Structure 1
Amino acid sequence: MLTVGIVDDNQLDLDKLELIVAQIPTIELLLKANSAEEVYTFIQEKPVDLLITDIEMPGMSGYQLADFIHLNNMHTTVIFVTAKSGYAVHAFELNVHDYILKPYNQERLVQSIERFTTKKAAGKITGRLFIRSGGDLVVIPKAEIIFLERTGRTTTIHTSNETFETYQSLGELEGDIRESMFIRSHRSFIINLQYVKRFAAYSKKSFVVIFEGTSEKALVTKEKLKYLQENYF
Structure 2
Amino acid sequence: MLGRVPPRALIVDDEAPAREELRYLLQEIGPVAQGAPVQVVGEATNGEEALVLLGSLEYDLVLLDIRMPGLTGLEVARAITGLVHRPQVIFTTAYPDHAVDAFDLAAADYLVKPFDAERLRRAVERALSAGPERTGEDAASAEARRPGEGNGAAGREPPNLVRIPVQKDGRTVLVAGDAIVYAAAARGYASLKLPDERVLVSFSLNELERRLQGHFLRVHRSYLVNLRHVRELVPDFQGGLALVMNDRQRSRVEVSRRHARELRRRLGI
TM superposition score normalised by structure 1: 0.49
Larger Rg: 2
